[in-house]
Chain A
Amino acid sequence: LAKTTQPISMDSYEGQEVNITCSHNNIATNDYITWYQQFPSQGPRFIIQGYKTKVTNEVASLFIPADRKSSTLSLPRVSLSDTAVYYCLVGDNGSARQLTFGSGTQLTVLP
């Protein structure tokens, strides 16, 4: 299983764009990159998933360079309610392989 490395914590202010970068140097050819958000005492919530280049949905964008050894989750115009832990995971979706959670990034949005 590919290991991921993320910053332990980040602070931002309301209305700013936040970029969280994840390193996954040992990503395998079949691995997808998935990001989850977790609030205290809740299960992780799926945010976005991608394989290469750029993926965008209604809540975030995911940027993946050509070598796929890292990825960046971009949250536009964050609000206080975006304060949460964000996890970056890599895994082979085709085989429903287990995901290994790293320490995640605690994002704190300040007023």
Chain B
Amino acid sequence: GAVVSQHPSRVICKSGTSVKIECRSLDFQATTMFWYRQFPKQSLMLMATSNEGSKATYEQGVEKDKFLINHASLTLSTLTVTSAHPEDSSFYICSAYSTSGGATDTQYFGPGTRLTVL
């Protein structure tokens, strides 16, 4: 139980285009999801907290107009990187918080999305 998927697993795009990444909790409902970014050889950095039906909360230094987050349902959150530039190239990982009875109450992570901006 507590499986989280992400799509796509990897994407290559041209500078200036927008890219949407989907995060789904497959076997549980998640009112709260989180988006992280991870650069090579570094730890995960929290970008934003996504709450179903309300606006996301962004961490300091993360541009909310560049990284659009939509949490429209209890099983889906999307991250859209708008007008992507090469410095946005990174590994993006989502997590969903599970409070369902079958799994330990904690964050469960997706497999990540490798974004490369040319």
Q: Interface on A for B, CB 8 Å cutoff?
A: 32, 34, 36, 41-46, 49, 87, 93-94, 96, 98-104
**Whole-angstrom CA separation of A100 from B95 in the bound complex:** 13
Are B106 and A93 closer than 8 Å at their CB atoms? yes
Q: Interface residues of A: mostly helix, strand, loop or mixed?
A: loop
Known: A34-B106, A43-B6, A43-B93. 11 other contacts (CB 8 A): A32-B106, A44-B44, A44-B95, A46-B104, A87-B43, A93-B105, A94-B105, A96-B32, A99-B107, A100-B46, A101-B46
User: How many residues from B make CB contacts under 8 Å with A?
Assistant: 28
Partner of A104, one of B43, B105, B112: B43
Chain B residue with Cβ nearest A48: B104
Contact residues of B between 78 and 118, Cβ < 8 Å to A: 91, 93-95, 97, 99, 104-112, 114
* Nearest chain B CB to A110 CB, angstrom units: 20
* Nearest chain A CB to B114 CB, angstrom units: 7
Q: Interface residues of B: mostly helix, strand, loop or mixed?
A: strand
Are A42 and B46 closer than 8 Å at their CB atoms? no
B34 at the A interface (CB under 8 A):
yes
B25 at the A interface (CB under 8 A):
no
**Whole-angstrom CA separation of A100 from B47 in the bound complex:** 11
Are A98 and B34 closer than 8 Å at their CB atoms? yes
Are A101 and B32 closer than 8 Å at their CB atoms? no
**Whole-angstrom CA separation of A103 from B41 in the bound complex:** 10
* Nearest chain A CB to B2 CB, angstrom units: 8
